[in-house]
Amino acid sequence: MPRATRAKPATKAKAKEEAADKPVEEPKPKKAATKRGTKRAAEEPAEEKEPEPVKEPSPPAEDEDERPKPAAKRRRVAEPKAAPKPKPAPSLFPGQPALDLFMFGTNSFGALGLGDPEGADDPDTRSQVPRPKLPISETLKFVQVVCGGMHSVGLTADGDVYTWGVNDEGALGRKTSGTCWENESEKNKGDSFVPGQATLPGGLKAVQVAAGDGFTFAVGTDGSLYGCGHFKDEVGALSGFTADVKVQGLFIQVWKPESLRDRIKKLVCGARHAVLLTNRGDVLTWGSGSQGQLGRVKPYHQDSEHQPTAEQLFKPTLVAHLPYALGSTQAVDVACGAYSTFVIGKNGAVAAWGLNNSGQLGIAKENNDDNLKWEPVPVASLKGVAHIAGGEQHTLALTKKGVLLSFGAATYGMLGRRDVDTNTANEIHPEPKPVDGLPEGAKVECIAAGTNVSACTTSDGDAWFWGSNTNLQLAKGTDEDDETVPKKMGRVKQFGYRRVHFVDFGGQHGALLAGPQGEVGPTAGAGGSAGAAAAPPAAAVPAPVVAKPAAEPKSAAAEAKPEANGAAAAAAATEAKPAEDEKEGEKEGAESMETDAKAADEAAAA
């Protein structure tokens, strides 16, 4: 057997040539590594990877100016927050309802605020209003109304003063056509016959108003007293608020308190004088004093050699001798008759001064010297009364137990008593006795006395009138017969079943404030006129509070048993009440509710 031979190794040069001639083999891919010891894993084929997407070539770059800019992100704009509602201004009369104002009586001088009767298609509709029908304004709401001799003043719930009536000598406190404003254009003729706003200096608001025969006063929110018009004496001479001005046509400041305790608590007026009560309990008077109504000047007459100075009369001055009549008690309420003044003390004591020729001060006359009281004197027969309202020759008083008393002249039935002769002019009754004819259990809230008329309101919202109806001031219709005992006011359809809160009288007209039946107002309305209504004032200051004594003071009037006026409150109005009132209206002939409704429909159609 032949022997194999070993190939000789190629030389280096030859090996290089052979290597250059051989093709280069591509490297084989490595097998995927398997887990050691796992046979199944080694046998599984490797997962195929999905081919990656081929990227398209990017377009050529554009110039920055031509490249579209990305849209700006829209920011969410926060909605503006609603401004907080402004808080309403605090009321000048908290707890006191804003009421509708109604006028009635004779409108000869524009005191009803219905416009000039001469310019009306039917003058009778404006010259007299025998019953309250429609509010004097559909938009204005009032908290107080007072009647002067021939003008009227209303205080709105916003503290604005409105006046209307005779403005010959500045009583309205605003410019109108007429004697006082001769330079005014005739185009405004008659503007005093409708309500117009009279502003206080600096645009101040008012919290009380009062009026007399030819003047008006208002208490501003700054506590000061403002006035306009003039005072008259018995012979008609004019006197203004300053020595060089006889007639003050616009409101000016008359008096300013020195401290909070000196601020005015209540303001009232007689025919020719005015009275204010301060928080301290001081009583100040000013005006004509020839009937003793100021209570602080020496006796004088128009022809007296020594006359009081203008400053003594027309500057509000303290009644220095009042403590001697009231005793040590503090004054808490004041009231005026036409020519008289009354003050009620905290302990129930009463002092009075002024004209007493008919016993209207509640003081019996022993001789002619008792006709006038020039200084305050105690009135024992009025001990324990809560409110007083004075007319010209008679006076009303309301006790704390709700008994309504009257005293003075009995003419025209204005005392409302069956025990007096109303046909005897010289018969006087100085002793206070209960008024007859009111429903048993009726609770009297407000009382008012005019020249020859009287009125009161009760807790059930009714108004009662008695006395003379010559000027249609009894709100009963055109029947001019006197009413010798209280008669309930008939309600015409337009007036509805409103609740009457307050009544006041002027020389030939009357006014009342009324609101919805469910609305309860103060226990008595706001007084302040010559035909004064007894009541706490409509003001931001506290109402007069009469402290109850340990035991009710006994007087001849208080011991008398009231025939028709108890202490219990009247029962609420029943469902039959509207029918009863309507039936009563039907009995009153041409002034019935149906007649008034027909007249209203005809007026609306016109």
Q: Output the pLDDT for position 250.
A: 95
* Residue 581 DSSP class: H
pLDDT by residue (tens digit) across 11-24? 545 555 555 555 55
Is 558's pLDDT higher than 70?
Answer: no
With vertex at residue 161, the alpha carbon angle to CA 207 and CA 277, rounded to the nearest 5 degrees, is 35
How many Å apart are CA 208 and CA 155, to the nearest integer?
Answer: 7
| Token couple for 434 | 């209960």
Find the mean pLDDT for residues 535-551. Answer: 39
Token pair 């008077």 in the structure block, residue: 285
pLDDT of residue 310: 83
**Confidence check: pLDDT of 551 > 50:** no
Candidates 503, 502, 510, 441; CA nearest to 469 is 510
Rg of the chain on CA atoms, in Å: 46
* E strand residue ranges, 256-403: 264-269, 273-278, 283-287, 317-318, 331-336, 340-345, 350-355, 372-378, 385-390, 394-399
Q: Given the structure tokens 């010297």, which residue do they identify? A: 369
pLDDT at 51: 56
pLDDT at 408 over 70: yes
Please report the pLDDT score of residue 370 as a whole number: 80
pLDDT of residue 119: 57
Q: Could you tell me the pLDDT band of residue 409, with boundaries at 50, 70 and 90?
A: very high
Which of 241, 436, 272 has its CA nearest to residue 354? 272
Q: What are the Cα distances from residue 581, in Å, to 228, 416, 510, 601?
A: 42, 22, 22, 21
pLDDT of residue 437: 95
Q: Which residues contact 341 (CB under 8 A, 6 or more apart)?
A: 270, 273, 275, 285, 293, 294, 295, 334, 335, 352, 353, 354
Residue holding tokens 């008659």? Answer: 190
For range 517-546, the mean pLDDT? 50
79 and 102 in contact (C-beta within 8 Å)?
no
Separation of alpha carbons 466 and 486, rounded Å? 5
Q: What is the pLDDT of residues 356-391, one digit of tens each?
A: 999 999 999 887 778 999 999 999 999 999 999 999
Tokens at residue 206, please? 């008012």
Q: What angle do CA 436, 547, 278 make, to 5 degrees?
A: 100
pLDDT of residue 407: 98
152-172: per-residue pLDDT in tens? 999 999 999 999 999 988 999
- Edge-to-edge strand list for the sheet holding 404-409: 385-390, 394-399, 404-409, 428-434
Whole-prediction pTM? 0.75
CB–CB of 407/545 below 8 Å?
Answer: no
The total number of residues shown for the chain amounts to: 606
pLDDT higher than threshold 90 for residue 336: yes
End-to-end CA distance of the chain: 160
- pLDDT for 212 equals 97
Q: Please give the pLDDT value at position 439.
A: 94
Q: Which residue has the higher pLDDT, 17 or 465?
A: 465
- Residue with the bigger pLDDT between 463 and 68: it is 463
Cβ neighbors of 282 (< 8 A, separation 6 or more) are: 262, 318, 331
- Confidence at residue 169, expressed as pLDDT on a 0 to 100 scale: 87
Q: What is the pLDDT of residues 277-320, one digit of tens each?
A: 999 999 999 999 999 999 999 887 766 677 888 888 999 999 99
Look at domain 100-573 and name its CATH class.
mainly beta
Nearest CA among 114, 96, 95, 94 for reference residue 104: 114
Give residue 235's pLDDT: 62
Q: Report how far residue 478's alpha carbon sits from residue 475's, in angstroms, rounded to the nearest whole number.
A: 9
Task: Render pLDDT for 513-526 as a digit per residue (tens, 0 to 9).
Answer: 999 886 665 544 44
Residue pair 130/476 in contact (Cβ under 8 Å)? The answer is yes
> In whole angstroms, what is the distance from residue 176 CA to residue 167 CA?
7
Domain ranges of the chain: 100-573
Provide the token pair at 44.
Answer: 């599984």
pLDDT given at position 425: 74
Contact 184, 215 (CB under 8 A): no
Q: How do residues 218-250 score in pLDDT, each as one tens digit?
A: 999 999 999 999 998 766 666 777 777 888 999
Q: Which of 95-104, 231-240, 419-428, 534-543 has the highest mean pLDDT?
A: 95-104
- Mean pLDDT lowest for which of 73-87, 252-266, 508-522? 73-87
Mean pLDDT rounded to a whole number for the chain: 79
Mean pLDDT lowest among 326-335, 392-401, 560-569: 560-569
**Collapsed DSSP state (helix, strand, coil) of residue 201:** helix
Using CA atoms, how far apart are residues 20 and 171, in angstroms rounded to an integer?
140
Q: Are 429 and 359 in contact (CB under 8 A)?
A: yes
Task: Kindly tell me the sign of the dihedral angle through the C-alpha atoms of 186, 190, 196, 199.
Answer: positive
pLDDT tops 70 at residue 26: no
